[in-house]
């Protein structure tokens, strides 16, 4: 029910936020108690009917106890989100009221604004409208969370009373665990149909029975995967803290914090009812390897016309992907559609040059030069593409998909295309190659549009030209791929713009929404006409400099890979975005110092 201003002032919204922690702790205590009971029973040595009965009782207790723990974790998460949203709205409304009262306006307890000066009547009416909008938005938020928490409370009651079965189509009843088993054996389409045929409360039961499985099952609707992932994150935080991995636990804890809503227009004046922050949503999270996740930045709605999947490059992991998520948020703002950051697998964490002096070519193992990571992640991207298509067909029919692979991520996307990834548009951004397999692309969409975006002088050009490049061909020179202009960065404080080029041109444009390169990606995603490549400098500036000296003298034209062998600068210029290796000598050529 919509509160009066007096009632709103009495709302202790911070206490709602604070209560989430104890609820989460209680959930963990329940889980610990069940685990301890199981451990004690496992150590027991007696046999017979009583032991069999104890085992059966404990199995039932474990299943229901795990569900109870997970329901409580869901309650903790929804409580934290409710507290954050209600607290923010409350503060904005009361701050607004205080400001206009300080300006001489009178505000009734129901939010009606007046002013003793009749000339301010229209302004007072606008203030009344703003407060009314804010109170209505707060009331709507309160009702939404209230409904969700009431359903979770009912789930706790049903579990306690033993009514924890799931009713399937036709009226049959099965356990949530059996429902999970059925889902695992279905293809993506049937899985989605079966799960959504369950009632909302039954879907909640299945989610809390095995959130790890639900979050990772392609075909499950996105909101259900979001809910399952939140449970998994809270469970993992506790486990990691106990294992002493505080860094990873902190990284997961940050995922639960609210972030800027990309749908909010940062340039427009904020209404009292506007909520500029929202909870982050994850389709999948895992503590495997370097930390795996699939995050949706923005919302998929019936009005959505475009969806982007962004696969980042070398060095990306759970603890260091803040800049990738920020770039995705900027892209979502500019395109008006959600951007999905896809990290369902490990990416290389080194470039390969670090130990080349000691290990030689062995240093390339598990590096950016190793295609193993692309080959491992690509099948998951293909599978995810199918579940994304199913979600789009159900929620936003006709919305177009764009897959962007940056640097090593380009090899992942290219390999996925070789394995049958369906996409409407693909951008190979500063890409390592077109795919790590010895085959062509097999995108089932014959009308797919492909683009490359590589700045002049980007060191990735050299690795693209390596003989037998393990990541495939050069996207810029591949038939059917349109090379896009990278242009200039956005203007600095003096209005000056510099070209997107050189080593910085490999990725800096991702951090500059005002750059031509970033804007060209936006145009592709939105289905607009992008700007084709305009040459502003050599793709191989070092090779060009060497050739300017050697050709007049030797009349021998160097291939683009000359800088790999060029020793005139006292170092070995490694391919791709790899820093040079200093040599103990320097070869001098005429005209070069």
The one-character DSSP state at 488 is: B
Q: Which residue's structure tokens are 């989610």? A: 207
How do strand 425-429 and strand 400-406 relate by DSSP bridges?
A: parallel
Alpha-carbon span 304 to 457, nearest angstrom: 37
Cβ–Cβ < 8 Å for 390, 192: yes
Please determine, looking at this structure, whether the domain spanning 280-526 carries the CATH number 3.40.50.
Answer: yes
pLDDT at residue 105 tops 50: yes
Cβ–Cβ < 8 Å for 306, 527: yes
Cβ–Cβ < 8 Å for 460, 430: yes
pLDDT digits (tens, 9 = 90+) for 400-452: 999 999 999 999 999 999 999 999 999 999 998 899 899 999 999 999 999 99
Q: What is the mean pLDDT of the chain?
A: 84
* Closest among 191, 364, 374, 220 to 282, alpha carbons compared: 220
Alpha-carbon span 518 to 131, nearest angstrom: 38
**What local confidence, expressed as pLDDT, does residue 538 receive?**
78
Min mean pLDDT across 58-67, 189-198, 321-330 is at 58-67
**What local confidence, expressed as pLDDT, does residue 266 receive?**
46
Tell me which long-range contacts 255-262 makes (C-beta under 8 A, separation of at least 24).
255/280, 255/282, 255/285, 255/293, 256/77, 256/80, 256/230, 256/280, 258/81, 258/84, 259/325, 259/329, 260/329, 262/297, 262/298, 262/329, 262/330, 262/332, 262/333, 262/339
Sketch the domain layout of the chain as residue ranges.
5-163, 165-257, 280-526, 541-582
How do strand 277-278 and strand 281-286 relate by DSSP bridges?
A: unpaired
In this predicted model, which residue has the larger pLDDT, 15 or 517?
517
* Closest among 149, 175, 177, 180 to 164, alpha carbons compared: 175
Residues 355-384 have a mean pLDDT of: 74
**What local confidence, expressed as pLDDT, does residue 388 receive?**
96
Q: What is the pTM of this model?
A: 0.79
Residues 466-484 have a mean pLDDT of: 87
**What local confidence, expressed as pLDDT, does residue 352 receive?**
54
Tokens of 380: 């998951």
How do strand 277-278 and strand 259-260 relate by DSSP bridges?
A: antiparallel
User: Residue 18 — very low, low, confident or very high, per pLDDT cuts 50/70/90?
Assistant: confident
* Closest among 487, 465, 485, 488 to 475, alpha carbons compared: 465
User: Residue 53 — very low, low, confident or very high, per pLDDT cuts 50/70/90?
Assistant: low
Cβ–Cβ < 8 Å for 277, 222: no
User: Residue 509 — very low, low, confident or very high, per pLDDT cuts 50/70/90?
Assistant: very high
Tell me which long-range contacts 12-15 makes (C-beta under 8 A, separation of at least 24).
13/83, 13/86, 13/87, 13/90, 14/83, 14/87, 15/83
The CA-to-CA distance between both ends of the chain, in Å, stands at 78
The contacts of residue 339 (CB under 8 Å, 6+ apart) are 262, 296, 297, 298, 307, 308, 309, 310, 328, 329, 331, 332
């Amino acid at each position: 029910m919509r509160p009066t201003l007096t009632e709103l002032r009495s709302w202790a919204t911070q206490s709602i936020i604070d209560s989430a922690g104890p609820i989460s702790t209680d959930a963990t205590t329940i889980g610990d108690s069940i685990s301890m009971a199981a451990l004690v029973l496992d150590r027991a040595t007696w046999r017979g009917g009583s032991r069999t009965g104890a085992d059966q009782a404990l199995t039932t207790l474990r299943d229901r106890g795990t569900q109870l723990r997970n329901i409580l974790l869901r309650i903790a998460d929804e409580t934290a989100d409710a507290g954050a949203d209600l607290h923010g709205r409350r503060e904005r409304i009361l701050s607004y009221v205080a400001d206009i009262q300080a300006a001489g306006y009178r505000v009734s307890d129901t939010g009606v604004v007046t002013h003793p000066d009749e000339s301010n009547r229209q302004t007072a009416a606008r203030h009344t409208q703003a407060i009314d909008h804010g109170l209505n938005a707060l009331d709507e938020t309160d009702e939404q969370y209230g409904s969700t928490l009431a359903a979770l409370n009912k789930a706790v009651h049903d579990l306690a009373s033993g009514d924890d079965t799931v009713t399937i189509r036709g009226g049959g009843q099965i356990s949530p665990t059996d429902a999970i088993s059925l889902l695992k054996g279905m293809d993506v389409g049937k899985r989605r149909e079966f799960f959504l045929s369950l009632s909302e409360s039954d879907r909640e039961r299945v989610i809390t029975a095995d959130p790890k499985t639900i979050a990772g099952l392609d075909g499950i609707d996105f909101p259900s995967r979001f809910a399952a992932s939140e449970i998994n994150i809270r469970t993992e935080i506790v486990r990691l803290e106990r294992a002493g991995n505080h860094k990873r636990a902190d990284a997961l804890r940050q995922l639960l914090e609210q972030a800027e809503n990309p749908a909010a227009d940062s340039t427009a004046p904020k209404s009292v009812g506007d909520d500029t922050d929202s909870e982050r949503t994850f389709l999948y999270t895992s503590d495997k390897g370097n930390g795996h996740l699939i995050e949706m930045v923005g919302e998929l709605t019936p009005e959505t016309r475009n969806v982007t999947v962004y696969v980042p490059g070398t060095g990306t992991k759970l603890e260091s992907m803040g800049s990738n998520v920020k770039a995705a948020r900027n892209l979502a703002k500019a395109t008006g559609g959600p951007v999905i950051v896809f990290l369902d697998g490990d990416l290389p964490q080194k470039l390969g040059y670090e130990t080349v002096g000691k290990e030689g070519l062995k240093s390339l193992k598990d590096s950016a030069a190793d295609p193993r990571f692309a080959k491992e992640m690509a099948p998951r991207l293909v599978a995810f593409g199918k579940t994304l298509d199913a979600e789009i067909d159900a929620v936003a029919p006709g919305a177009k998909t764009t897959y962007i692979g940056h640097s090593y991520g380009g090899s992942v996307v290219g390999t996925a295309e070789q394995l049958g990834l369906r996409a409407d548009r693909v951008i190979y951004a500063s890409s390592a190659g077109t795919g790590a397999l010895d085959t062509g692309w097999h995108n089932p969409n014959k009308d797919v549009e492909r683009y490359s975006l590589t700045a002049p002088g980007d060191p990735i050009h050299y690795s693209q030209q390596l003989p037998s490049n393990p990541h495939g061909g050069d996207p810029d020179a591949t038939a059917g791929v349109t090379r896009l202009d990278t242009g200039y960065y956005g203007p600095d404080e003096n209005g000056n713009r510099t070209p997107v080029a050189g080593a910085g041109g490999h990725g800096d444009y991702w951090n500059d929404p005002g750059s031509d390169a970033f804007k060209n990606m936006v145009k592709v995603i939105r289905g607009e006409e992008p700007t084709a490549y305009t040459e502003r400098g050599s793709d191989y500036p070092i090779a060009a400099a060497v050739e300017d000296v050697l050709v007049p003298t030797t009349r021998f034209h160097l291939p683009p890979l000359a800088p790999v062998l060029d020793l005139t600068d006292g170092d070995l210029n490694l391919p791709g975005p790899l820093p040079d290796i200093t040599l103990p000598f320097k070869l001098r050529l005429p005209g070069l110092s």
